[in-house]
Amino acid sequence: MIRVLLVDDEPLVLIGMQSMLDWNALGYELVGTARNGAEALERIGEQQPDVVVSDIRMPVLDGLQLASRSREQYGALPVFIMLTSYEEFDYVRRSMGLGAVDYLVKIDLTPENLTAALDRARTAVEKERALRAPAQAAPGGLESYRDRFFIQLYSGLFPTDGEIRARAGELGLTLDAPAYAVAIADIHNRELTPDQQVTLSTGVTRMAADILSKYLPCHVTGMDLRHFSVLLPLQSRDGLEHRLTPVLQKVNAILYKYFSIHLWWAVGAPTSVPHHIAKSQKSAFSALPLLSEADPILFCRSDDVTPMDHRARTVAKVQDYIRKNPDKRLSLNDVAAVFNFSPGYLSQLFSQNGQTSFVEFVTETRISAAKELMASTDLKIYEISERLGFESAFYFSKVFKKIEGVSPRAYLQKLRGGPGAREDSADVD
């Protein structure tokens, strides 16, 4: 049975999901519910669910913070299915980070799409269980265990160098180089079906590993369908850029010839301490949004301004653009295109470097713009809704009330000094 935890701050949503499916008949066991992210994190530790179905916007910890902390504390399991009430959801759903396998719009939640999302989550859980199975259970099991070791290493789950070396020795690996750096490859290709992307990603990762191993010692580990990590044992921390750049360029040329794809590379800051390898990988991951077609290879240095500083400045620029253009198309895809980022990276930029997620920031910015229009114009509520790109006046009113605590009509009447009036369900003019 696949164990499932349901998390939402709205009791009716929890009740609705519990009654929506015959969970046991479908092979799922509901192990509990939680009303906020902090409570959910406790439940994960207590109940050890395989899947968490969680709202994105919640008190104490939101869904993205919950997923991030769960991954830090418990690794790849549980996987997450995210629920949202916000617009632009088709784009947010594409995010592969933080252990999320799918996203669902609350208002459109049905037994069919919830079941489909759970099926995808089951596949991810079974894959992870296979990685954790004993190595001798199947051919290639040792390699799977090694992959799992590197994933744990990059997640910072080994507190000491001695523990790292002991675990590596059990797997026939030697980590005794004077220094290490982690490179992350970002696979850029045309949109493919999920099955096609799996095939492409597998082929690219394997061929990259074969090519790299001819030039230098390395360990290649797949991260998701568009990224893989390369651990590079180094004899010296000096001259890494000079030695590695031509090798990465060679890999790129060969892979483009065979697969018609481009690889962008971020190389983390070198370290002499094995349990700091996670920091090298993290610095590489942080630098990915700084890559471009013109500059597809970037090296982080310990004496540089950290990529996180770059990322914080980038988030500030994107936020400024959104504030100045609340009436423009502000989907994740549209804004990412303005800044020449992928939607997934832009989403991660916000979740890791901003106070809110991208969708929340856009929504809150539009609500702020709506309040300014209410104060400075005679526009009706539905006209403000249309001007600011909300899908309907009803939806605008619902979001406005969730953020401000009152409906647009009540806010407008208070603003203009009028008497309070009964709020209807749609709250539109």
DSSP per-residue letters across 147-207:
HHHHHHHHTT---SHHHHHHHHHHTT-----SEEEEEEEEEE-----HHHHHHHHHHHHHH
178-302 CATH fold: Alpha-Beta Plaits (3.30.70)
pLDDT score, position 424: 43
- Average pLDDT of the residues of the chain: 82
The band of 418, judged by pLDDT with boundaries at 50, 70 and 90, is low
Tens-digit pLDDT profile for residues 76-132: 788 888 887 655 444 454 444 555 777 777 777 889 889 988 988 888 787 777 555
Q: What span, in angstroms and rounded, lies between the C-alpha atoms of 121 and 52?
A: 9
Question: Which of these, 291, 155, 130, 143, lies nearest to 223 by C-alpha position?
Answer: 155
By CB atoms closer than 10 A (0-12, 13-18, 19+), residue 295 is exposed
Using the CB atoms, write b or e for 334-353: b if 16+ within 10 Å. Answer: ebbeeeebbbbbbbbbbbbb
pLDDT score, position 212: 94
The band of 44, judged by pLDDT with boundaries at 50, 70 and 90, is very high
Q: Which residue has the higher pLDDT, 183 or 374?
A: 183
pLDDT score, position 135: 38
The band of 419, judged by pLDDT with boundaries at 50, 70 and 90, is low
pTM of whole model > 0.85? Answer: no
Structure tokens at 194: 């999920």
Distances (CA, A) of 18 to 6, 23, 212, 406: 8, 8, 50, 30
Q: Are strands 79-84 and 28-34 parallel, antiparallel or unpaired?
A: unpaired
pLDDT score, position 131: 53
Highest mean pLDDT among 76-90, 186-200, 376-390: 376-390
The residues, any chain, with a CB within 8 Å of residue 370's CB and separated by 6 or more, are: 384, 385, 388, 396, 400, 408
Tens-digit pLDDT profile for residues 46-66: 889 999 999 888 888 888 888
User: What residue segments make up the domains of the chain, in order of their start?
Assistant: 2-132, 178-302, 305-429
Q: What is the mean pLDDT of residues 265-292?
A: 86
Ordered strands of the 219-224 beta sheet: 219-224, 227-234, 179-188, 262-267, 297-299
Distances (CA, A) of 327 to 230, 276, 370, 392: 43, 45, 10, 14
Q: What is the mean pLDDT of residues 140-145?
A: 67
DSSP 137: G
The letter for the amino acid at 36 is: N
Structure tokens at 192: 């493919």
> How many residues would you count in the chain?
429
Q: What DSSP line would sit under 27-52, residue for residue?
A: TEEEEEEESSHHHHHHHHHHH--SEE
Q: Are strands 51-55 and 179-188 parallel, antiparallel or unpaired?
A: unpaired
Tens-digit pLDDT profile for residues 302-347: 644 444 456 677 788 888 889 888 888 888 888 888 877 777 777 7
What percent of the chain has a predicted confidence (pLDDT) above 70?
86
The band of 403, judged by pLDDT with boundaries at 50, 70 and 90, is confident
Give the angle 236-237-242 at the CA atoms, nearest 5°. 95
Weakest mean pLDDT among 7-21, 128-142, 183-197, 350-364: 128-142
pLDDT score, position 305: 42
Highest mean pLDDT among 67-81, 106-120, 174-188, 349-363: 174-188
Helix (H) or strand (E) holding 261: none
Structure tokens at 413: 């009447």
Instruction: Say if residue 178 is preceded by a cis peptide, omega within 30 of 0.
Output: no
Question: Which of these, 298, 311, 157, 173, lies nearest to 231 by C-alpha position?
Answer: 173
Kindly indicate whether the domain formed by 305-429 is annotated with CATH number 3.90.440.10: no
Whether residue 103 contacts residue 93, with contact meaning beta carbons closer than 8 Å, is answered with yes
| Domain with residues 2-132, CATH architecture | 3-Layer(aba) Sandwich (3.40)
Whether residue 83 contacts residue 109, with contact meaning beta carbons closer than 8 Å, is answered with yes
Q: What span, in angstroms and rounded, lies between the C-alpha atoms of 34 and 215?
A: 51
Question: Which of these, 154, 217, 208, lies nearest to 185 by C-alpha position?
Answer: 208
Question: Which of these, 170, 227, 233, lies nearest to 204 by C-alpha position?
Answer: 227
Q: What is the mean pLDDT of residues 162-182?
A: 90
Structure tokens at 308: 């996180």
pLDDT score, position 134: 43
Using the CB atoms, write b or e for 256-279: b if 16+ within 10 Å. Answer: eeeeebebbbbbbbbbeebbbbbb
Highest mean pLDDT among 115-124, 153-162, 244-253, 304-313: 244-253
pLDDT score, position 137: 38
Q: Collapsing DSSP states into helix, strand and coil, what is residue 262?
A: strand
Whether residue 247 contacts residue 202, with contact meaning beta carbons closer than 8 Å, is answered with no
